[in-house]
Amino acid sequence: MQRSHSPQRLRVLPFLAAALAVVLPGCVTQTPSAQAPVEEAPVNIPLAGADVSALPLFERAGTVYRDAKGRDGDALAILRGAGMNAFRLRLFVHPDYDNVVVNDLEYTLALAKRVKATGAKFLLDLHYSDTWADPSKQFVPKAWEGLDFDSLCDKVRSYTRETIAAFAQAGAMPDMVQLGNEITNGMLWPEGRVEHGPAPDPAAWDRFAALQKAAHEGLAQACAGRPLPLVILHIESTGNLPRTEWFLAEAARTGVAYDIVGLSYYPQWHGTIADLSKTLNLAAEKSGRPVMVAEVAYPWKKSADWSEGAENLAFPATPAGQNAFAMAVVRALREVPDGKGIGLFWWYPEAVLNPKINVWLGGDCALFSTDGRLLPAARMRIE
């Protein structure tokens, strides 16, 4: 279902400016669990969050998380106490359970219940893949291989409907949803692939838009006519203004519906804070919608190979340097015209070194130190 720009759907900014004090539009009213919501510290942006999709895996492997004073505790509660008010969880269709590729429906439902029990907002990131989906790969789930295009659209619709219904029935309805992860080059390749280049391919965009429409229809069907979660259109073209403008223009031309533009920002790949600011401002202007940083990370130490894009790592790889970077990202969001910069989600804050897990970049970008102690950047606010 194509979403119109109705006044109700565009009340995103005032709504978030109220510090998320009320429930975001959703299909069902949530029933709180016995765990009381956590009292969080103040933040400078409406949404200050993190993707904690691997947290249960680390907990099972024996990782201990501590607050800034060294006291052991639940990582979600610690992050909430630091000021975070939202968490993002990815979902694969049928993951192979290799290392951290464990996010099936059962796993994600259980973690989503924990997120909602803290009182935080919940962003569900649907990959429409059995494994990582990003600009370099968007694999069709194995169970969907061989479907013709119309059947693939039907599968996207039914999968989205059944998945969202499962979260609603579990009392863990998402407040926000991504219908695809880093989809600047499309989704479900080759059928839904789009590319920025000198030779436009309108037919490719029509196919991509049809897949997005099917996902929206499934979302609407699960919600049975009631208000939908906010939809994040997640792209990763920070620092590439022509590509960002192309994607948003084509999305508008083909009727792709969304509420918020989400950008990935890893400085080693996407440039400087100035590049981030320019892209946020352009996306807000061209889309007419709020913008957020859907993924962001920066090292507090350097144990991995950081030679790629080293010139963009303008802050020291120390806890203080990571914190300065986080504050710079918050400033960039706050400076988006008309208050349209609404928040960020830190990538993989739980990635503490553990011998049982192949930890991304050696845990350099985590928000917990090697002994599990909370780092200053988790506060995500300008002091």
Give the pLDDT confidence of 45-64 residue by residue, as tens digits.
899 999 999 999 999 999 99
Whether residue 123 has pLDDT greater than 80 = yes
- CA atoms of 210 and 175, how far apart (whole Å): 24
Q: Which of 173, 193, 174 is nearest to 183 (CA)?
A: 193
Give the pLDDT confidence of 322-381 residue by residue, as tens digits.
999 999 999 999 999 999 999 999 999 999 999 999 999 999 999 999 999 999 999 987
What is the per-residue burial (b if ≥16 Cβ within 10 Å, else e) of 289-310? bbbbbbbbbbbbbeeeeeeeee
Give the pLDDT confidence of 248-263 residue by residue, as tens digits.
999 999 999 999 999 9
pLDDT at residue 41, as a whole number:
54
Strand partners, 262: 234, 292
Domain range annotation of the chain: 34-379
Considering the domain delimited by 34-379, tell me its CATH architecture. Answer: Alpha-Beta Barrel (3.20)
pLDDT at residue 201, as a whole number:
87
The residues annotated with a catalytic role in the active site are 182, 295
Mean pLDDT of 230-258: 98
pLDDT at residue 133, as a whole number:
98
pLDDT at residue 382, as a whole number:
65
Q: Which of 89, 88, 96, 188 is nearest to 133 (CA)?
A: 188
Whether residue 170 has pLDDT greater than 80 = yes
Mean pLDDT of 61-77: 98
User: In the predicted model, what is the mean pLDDT of the chain?
Assistant: 90
The answer to whether the beta carbons of residues 95 and 101 sit under 8 Å apart is yes
Please give the model's pTM, rounded to 2 decimal places: 0.91
Whether residue 179 has pLDDT greater than 90 = yes
DSSP string of 256-273, one letter each residue:
---SEEEEEE-HHHH--H
Mean pLDDT of 146-166: 98
